Amino acid sequence: MSDNDAQSPAARDPETNHALFSVYFHAAGLSPDRLPKALRPMALQDALEVIPRVSDRHRPLRAELVAHQMMRASGIDNETAVHRGVRPSAPPRWTDASVDAHLSSRLRVKRGVVTDVLDHARAHHASTERCTDPQVTSTANTAEGSTELYSKVKVLKPIGRELAERLDPRNWDRCRDLFAETHEVEDPSDGRVRNRHGGVALGHSWKGFLFERAEAGPQAVENVLRVDFVSEPAKLEVRYQLFRSLSYTFGGLEFPGIMQQNWGTLSVEPDATDPTTTSQLVCTKTVRYSRWGGWSAGGLVDFGEIFNYLAAATLPLWAEHLSRVVPCCA
């Protein structure tokens, strides 16, 4: 990124990053055959083996994200059915044999790797830094060629200074797990992207421009967003829209910015049942990529179409990190 005086993002583990992307890819029901062979995700079994063995501060929360995706994709509506030895209150219809057969046929994974992920996820279940009851849906708008996402989660924190600082877009990279770099920049209308110094304190309302670099599996995107962050005693809200798409990296290939749409909202209000300790966080997002060139191997494939196809996996990954990792990481 030219004319940006920011330091490079902290080193990140590419295997873990790829494993996370692979889980969301398979959970979305996408087909690896739609991608060039060199850029396909890991097999789900391999990805699930990687997640628990990465020992860092995000391991329990990352495992909880993966466990939620696995339960959603498996069609098993109660995780106790998968891990009866720890929590033996499984519904009677789920026997050990039926769970084994279901996981094998539906996800092509062994039960042991799923229970290992669930074990690590429980370390986060017990934490006070919890974001619970996630609801994430993504929908392809075929008429517009875009993908739309809605996400809702309960955050076990009241609206206040801590939550305002964590959800300030300039601080999304605090956890360094998907958002590799975010910071405020000067008005880039002249074509240059330069850091802005001396802005308002974190957690306070501001309007301006944000540079973001997000990394998910083989993909990395750099954008400048126009942002309006509202921080009030009873409400937090981020409204953002794409100002300029800077670059898109896919595997070892780097493209000029081809994102055409990227806009949405992030809003937090006190939870109606317990407003003094809990908040409701709702996230919406719409993305669309333009056509760009072609890649030929047994037929012409446009990378813009590939990115639009992958949005069914990358948008939920992005949303769960913004709505669960950013406010709830250690």
pLDDT in tens, 26-46: 888 889 988 877 678 899 888
CA dist., res. 176 & res. 153, Å (int): 21
- pLDDT for 299 equals 46
Q: Please state the domain extents for the chain.
A: 1-9+130-330, 43-127
- pLDDT for 326 equals 86
Q: How confident is the model at residue 165 (pLDDT cuts 50, 70, 90)?
A: very high
Cβ pair 179, 216 in contact under 8 A: no
Residue 110 carries which side chain, given as an amino acid letter?
K
Cβ pair 212, 222 in contact under 8 A: yes
- pLDDT for 108 equals 76
Q: Is the pLDDT of residue 54 over 70?
A: yes
CATH architecture of the domain 1-9+130-330 equals 2-Layer Sandwich (3.30)
The more confidently predicted of residues 123 and 103 is 103
CA dist., res. 176 & res. 58, Å (int): 9
For 187-235, write each residue's pLDDT tens digit: 999 989 999 988 899 999 999 999 999 887 777 889 999 999 999 999 9
Q: How confident is the model at residue 280 (pLDDT cuts 50, 70, 90)?
A: very high
The more confidently predicted of residues 315 and 283 is 283
H or E stretch covering 114: helix 111-125
- pLDDT for 212 equals 95
- pLDDT for 92 equals 54
Kindly give, in sequence order, each residue whose CB lies less than 8 Å from that of residue 255, ignoring residues fewer than 6 positions away: 247, 248, 249, 292, 303
Q: Is the pLDDT of residue 276 over 80?
A: yes
Kindly give, in sequence order, each residue whose CB lies less than 8 Å from that of residue 85, ignoring residues fewer than 6 positions away: none
| Section 1-14 average pLDDT | 45
- pLDDT for 98 equals 72
| Section 281-288 average pLDDT | 90
Tell me what percent of the residues of the chain surpass a pLDDT of 90: 25
Mean pLDDT of the chain: 79
* Span between the terminal Cα atoms of the chain, in Å: 30
For 288-313, write each residue's pLDDT tens digit: 877 655 443 444 556 777 778 888 88
